[in-house]
Every structure is written in C-alpha cells, then in structure tokens.
Amino acid sequence: MKLRNFFMGLFILPASLIADQPIVDLGPLQVASVVVNDLEAAVAQWSAGTGTEFSPITTNDYIVFLSDGGPKHVTIKSAYSIYSNPFLELIEVTPAIGPWAPQTGPGSTVGYQVYAVSNIHQVDATMVNAGLTKVAFSGNKFAFYQAANGLLVKVINQNLLPPTGGVNTPQAPIDIGPIKHADMAIVDSETLKQQFGTLLSINWSVFQFTNTPMTFPEGTELVDVDVVVSDKIPQIQFEKITPPLGVFASSPTSYTFHPAYVVPAGTMDAVRAQMESAGFVLNTYVILPDVGLVLAYFVGPGNYWIEVVDARFDF
C-alpha cells in the first residue's frame, strides 16, 4: 500500500512543487500515433493505400504506472513512417490498457499527438497549467496526459524518436506523401482551443460552414462545419460537425483521430481507387458539382481512419 501511495504521488504533485517547475516549450507536433489491433496487417494496408514506407517493427517491454491502478507490464510493438515532421506511428500494445484501451464512447480506435522533450517529468507544470491530467507514465521514457473531450497527448523522451529526414521509397503506384496535419473530431472545441492554446502557445483560425452537404453511410446530409486550425506547422485541427455522423462520431469523452494527407488537385479519384484496392472503405466524403471528390475519410479494420483532401480545399 505504501508503494502504491508513493507512485500515486507522482501523478498528483503538491502545488508548491508544480509552482516551482518551469513552463516547458513542447515544440512542434513530432508524431501522430494510431493504436491498431494487428500491427503487421496495418502497416501493410497503410503502405498499400498511401504509398508510405515504414521502418522495421520494434518490440519493447515497459512498466507503466497508471492513474487508476499500476504498475503494469505492457509489450509495445510499433513502426514509424520514414516520412517525418510529423512521423506517423502505428502501435500495438499488449495488454491494451490505460491510454491504449479502446474508447468507451463513439469514435475511432485510440490516436494521440506526441511531443518530444529532454525530460518528461519537467513538463508536469506545463500540462497542469493548461488543464490536462496525467494518466500514465513509464520512468523517463514517456507520459500520457488527458485533455478535454478525452483527448490524449503523449510526451516522450527525445531519445526515443527515430532520425528525421529519411527518403520514402513509394510502397504503391501513388505516393500521397507525408501527413500534413493531425485532425480530431470532437464536440468540445471551445475548451480544447483554450487548453491547447495555452499548452502550445498557438493561435487559432476558425472556419465555419452551415448546411454543407456531406455523404455518410446513412446518406447525404446537410451538416454544420466548425473547424479550428492551429497556426503552427504541422497543424492540428479540431473538427466539430453537427450532427456528428460517420467519421465525426464523438462524445464529451471520446473522439475520432485521423491523420490527414493533402494530395495534388484532381488526383482524388485515383487515390480513392488505390485506397479501396488496399481494403480501406470510403465512409464519409464530399463531392462538388463539376469538380468531383474533394474530401474523403477512409476507415480500415479495427476502426482506424485516414483523411485525404484535395490541395485546393485544404485549410
């Protein structure tokens, strides 16, 4: 019991200690991570659909301390894209507990933003100051924090990042390039704007459209679109769509995370064909008269998502 109380104290630091900690600049988004059920299959499918090359899969064991019980042993398998700034990481965790556990509300498989620092314990004041709560950590390797709407942010030791600047060898006839931004379908955009504005020292642009036709599995619906876009590169975007159908399914405690790719004007139909040939399902999309497909959300096995947008229509 005393050992448990000691580790729980690492989650809830005294206010005096937090006040003495400096505010740490987390820097730009380093990684967009997506939790999958079958890593080998996900890497193969993602490569076939997007042309992305991944590094060899690595396997590591960690002791993780959870805010709702711990310590726990987990085995983490992961693969990083060769493309960087940000990297895409596909990750499989056994057992899928804590921050890797499936969401209990509507939304996608778990996905999260990753920021790299020299010492993960020095960011506690930064995260608490922005209104986030620590939910898991493993030594000086990584820590998870939870923001409004259930959003997860992972902070890792910078030594765990792979080298940047690699040259992608296309894994499919069409290489759609690196991730351009990390998007999250949410319902609480106002709180998230405040939290992430404080956390990352960023400003926001807000784009709003009413009665916008989008096609979902249920059919074409008129929806209200509210997208919040960060002013830092790589961008993060919060998408609040009413009603929250298809990829935009979310709740106050769950969300849909989808890495976004931007492709050259007029190539969306060819990309769609490649994605569907790889086994992805076109779930939610926008087709404009006399222009064609301009925005598409594809879903893969295990409920993970990819967004593809024509460059003329990206924010």
Per-residue pLDDT tens digits of the chain, which is 315 residues long: 444 544 445 565 544 444 455 577 899 999 999 999 999 999 999 999 999 999 999 999 999 999 988 799 999 999 999 999 999 999 999 999 999 999 998 888 999 999 999 999 999 999 999 999 999 999 999 999 999 999 999 999 999 999 999 999 999 999 999 999 999 999 999 999 999 999 999 999 999 999 999 999 989 999 999 999 999 999 999 999 999 999 999 999 999 999 999 999 999 999 999 999 999 999 999 999 999 999 999 999 989 999 999 999 998
Nearest to 124 by CA among 101, 105, 144: 144
- pLDDT reported for residue 83: 98
Identical fold between 2-7+21-160 and 181-313: yes
Task: Domain 181-313: state its class.
Answer: alpha beta
State the fold for domain 2-7+21-160. 2,3-Dihydroxybiphenyl 1,2-Dioxygenase; domain 1 (3.10.180)
- pLDDT reported for residue 3: 47
Query: What is the domain partition of the chain in residue ranges?
Result: 2-7+21-160, 181-313
